[in-house]
């Protein structure tokens, strides 16, 4: 199976497993998801796009951080258990078909 670049959006409490994990094909879509989820300003979204992580306020945002990174796993199928973003549904179906065909 060929490696397919993909991005994970993780958010939650510092030092704990993420409360929310989403998979995206494009970094821009991942940032837009985080921007909508946490009502981030354009400035904060740009900072997240550049640094890959943004500290949040638990009181106002419901999480302490949001992080976006390009996953380096060789099999994006490990993420099939996660809720798939609309952006990643095509990738998931394609990978499932490849796996079924051998």
Structural domain boundaries of the chain? Answer: 6-100
For 16, list phi and psi in degrees, rounded to 5.
-125, 165
Considering the entire predicted model, what is its pTM? 0.74
Non-local CB neighbours of 47 within 8 Å, separated by 6+ positions: 54
Instruction: List C-alpha distances in Å: 101 to 2, 24, 84.
Output: 14, 24, 22
What pLDDT digit, counting tens, does each position of 24-75 carry? 888 999 999 999 999 999 999 999 999 999 999 999 999 999 999 898 776 6
Using the Cα atoms of residue 28, residue 36, residue 92 and residue 7 in order, give the sign of their dihedral. positive
Cα 32 from Cα 53, distance rounded (Å): 14
């Amino acid at each position: 199976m060929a490696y397919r670049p993909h991005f994970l959006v993780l958010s939650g409490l510092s030092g704990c497993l993420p409360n929310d994990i989403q998979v995206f094909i494009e970094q821009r879509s991942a940032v837009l998801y985080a921007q909508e989820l946490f009502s981030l300003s354009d400035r904060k979204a740009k900072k997240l796009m550049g640094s890959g992580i943004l500290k949040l306020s638990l009181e106002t945002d419901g999480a302490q951080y949001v992080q976006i990174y390009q996953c380096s796993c060789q099999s994006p199928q490990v993420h099939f258990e996660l809720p798939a973003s609309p952006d990643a549904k095509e990738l998931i179906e394609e990978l499932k078909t490849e796996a079924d065909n051998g």
